[in-house]
Amino acid sequence: MAEIALAGATSVLRQTVGVLGNLIVDESSHLSRLREGILWIESEFGYIQSYLEDADAKQRQNRKITRLVIDIRDLAYDVENIMDTYFSRITSHRRKGIFSRLKSAFCVLRYTYDVHNFIVEVEGIKRRVENINRLRLTYGINEGNSATRVRRVTAYKSSLFEDISSNSQHVNLRTVLYFNDEDERVKISQDLRLLRVLYLDKIILSRPNDIGNFCHLTYLQLRSNDLGKLPSAICNLKSLLTLDVRGYGFDIPIGIWKMRQLRHLILSFFTNDKVQQIDVSLPNLQSMHLKPIQITRFVEVLRLKNLTSLRKLWITSQSVNRSRPLSTLNLPRCENLHKLYLGVSMKNLPDLDKLPNLTKLVLEFSESVESPLETLKKLPKLKILKLGEKSYNGRQIICSGGPDNFPQLETLEIHDLIWLQELIVEEGAMPRLKKLSIFGCGRLTGIPDRFRNITTITAE
């Protein structure tokens, strides 16, 4: 769904522009070029949204238009990923006081490097937007201007829901995307029974269980820090394929873990204090992103059972630094899992032999005492491995030799392992490695000679 991807990316862009505005005030015009580029992208996304309906209608006539719609969706996802990656790094420099007191030349280099790469990525996005606009004209796609058949509505800080209630034309709405700056309590008209997509940013439903009336919903995203408890009526939405809830301290109805039709599930900063056991049976789920407030408590009661279609799994927490470690993490056999991110403190790494098709693995905050390369070396299809902050507390990482050890690994990233002094990869292991990236490992001096030409080292 290209319009949903655009909505998420637009929200991230708007937040980024706001914070960059404050940084520019503090730091003269150092980031002004970056902010102008992001503002331009946000504006262009508005125009792209206006002609998506015409593009959708013409997809059957021209396969090239189908490719264009897919390109728009991919572009929006890339924008959100880029904003999340570089924006968090730049603002973290500011929180550490880099602008007020430059602690070392390394700090300056790291900040400059991040800003430069951020600008390069934004310029690349601008070129892709310009190419999409050029193709739009080539294929004769027009901006939506029909007053008699409104199917999509996007609003920012408006009286949208009052207008919908008073206008009979809105009965046929399929998509509602609403953005706000602060939490607002609203009532959604029950006349919107044909609604397929609902995106509410900083909106609190005055009658939460009314959400169960929208039986055709396939996509639901709620973003608010005052959600309280998710309505149990969500569990009755039999057509819902994507559920994305991002708030703080909200409770989840237990029935969500039994919504067998779900394809994508994202839950951020939720609680589970009163639940004794969570049995997860989601056979059609393709991606799951879980970020509970108390990670240890949540994982201890989690029972992952029927996840046969799962391709992406992300488990982490805001309070991971304050969590007591797990003994381990029990994962089910997931034949289709390709990408796994674990930000969980645990005494022993989980048994990943159950994941034969894993291609990307990211570990952070696991604080493992055993050498991760020795534990993971038999993963047959792993191509990307990232050992992030506090993933390992030892001084030496060893991978024994042999072509069967990391046979497909192409990228190895080691970030912020402050105690690491030596990396040893014996002859024959990692035969296909193309990139070794080391970042923030100030004590690391020992690197295999055969990897020196493919190694990038960035100091903290």
The CATH number of the domain where 256 resides is what? Answer: 3.80.10.10
Residues ≥6 apart with Cβ < 8 Å to 146: none
Residues 163 and 239 in one domain: yes
Residues 156 and 264 in one domain: yes
65 lies in a domain? yes
β-bridge mates for residue 222, sequence order: 200, 245
Give mean pLDDT, residues 147-174.
65
Q: CA-CA distance, 75 to 5, in Å (whole number)? A: 9
Maximum average pLDDT range among 90-104, 253-267, 293-307: 253-267
Residues 196 and 98 in one domain: no
Give mean pLDDT, residues 432-437.
92
Q: What are the Cα distances from residue 4, in Å, to 77, 141, 178, 220?
A: 10, 19, 11, 10
433 lies in a domain? yes
Give the pLDDT of residue 353: 79
pLDDT of 340 over the 90 cut: yes
* Number of domains making up the chain: 3
328 lies in a domain? no
Give the pLDDT of residue 147: 43
pLDDT of 358 over the 80 cut: yes
Give the pLDDT of residue 152: 74
Radius of gyration of the chain from Cα atoms?
A: 24
Q: Which domain holds residue 89?
A: 2-138
End-to-end CA distance of the chain: 39
Residues ≥6 apart with Cβ < 8 Å to 227: 204, 245, 247, 248, 250
CB 77 within 8 A of CB 1: no
The pair of three-digit structure tokens given for residue 193, joined into one six-digit string? 């029974």
6 lies in a domain? yes
Residues 106 and 186 in one domain: no
300 lies in a domain? no
Residues 122 and 85 in one domain: yes
309 lies in a domain? no
Mean pLDDT score of the chain: 77
How many of the other CB atoms lie within 10 Å of CB of 41?
A: 22
Q: What 3 state SS string does 103-166 have? A: CCHHHHHHHHHHHHHHHHHHHHHHHHHHHHHHHHHHCCCCCCCCCCCCCEEEEECCCHHHHHHH
Give mean pLDDT, residues 158-172.
64
pLDDT in tens, 205-262: 888 888 888 888 989 988 887 777 888 899 999 999 999 998 877 888 889 999 999 9
Q: CA-CA distance, 317 to 292, in Å (whole number)? A: 5
Residues 11 and 122 in one domain: yes
- Greater pLDDT, 144 or 48: 48
Give mean pLDDT, residues 314-324.
68
3: Cα separation from own chain's centroid: 17
Q: What are phi and psi of 344, to 5 degrees?
A: -130, 130
Residues 61 and 164 in one domain: no
Residues 106 and 221 in one domain: no
Taken in order 325, 86, 9, 67, the sign of the CA dihedral is negative
Taken in order 110, 116, 118, 121, the sign of the CA dihedral is negative
The pair of three-digit structure tokens given for residue 90, joined into one six-digit string? 């730049």
Give the pLDDT of residue 114: 72
- Final residue of a structural domain among 271, 288, 309: 271
Give the pLDDT of residue 7: 53
Residues 69 and 155 in one domain: no
Residues 244 and 367 in one domain: no
Q: Is 247 in a helix, a strand, or coil?
A: strand
Lowest mean pLDDT among 132-136, 152-156, 413-417, 451-455: 152-156
Burial pattern 325-363, b for ≥16 Cβ within 10 A else e, equals bbeebebeebeebbbbbbbbbbeebbebeebeebbbbbb
Give the pLDDT of residue 102: 44
Residues ≥6 apart with Cβ < 8 Å to 405: 377, 378, 399, 428, 429, 430
Q: What are the Cα distances from residue 57, in Å, to 16, 62, 175?
A: 33, 10, 15
- Final residue of a structural domain among 138, 158, 185: 138
Give the pLDDT of residue 300: 74
Give the pLDDT of residue 452: 87
Residues 25 and 41 in one domain: yes
The CATH number of the domain where 49 resides is what? Answer: 1.20.5
- Final residue of a structural domain among 227, 256, 271: 271
Q: What are the Cα distances from residue 142, in Å, to 67, 113, 130?
A: 17, 40, 16
446 lies in a domain? yes
pLDDT in tens, 109-156: 666 777 777 788 888 888 888 888 778 777 777 655 444 456 777 777
297 lies in a domain? no
Residues 132 and 213 in one domain: no
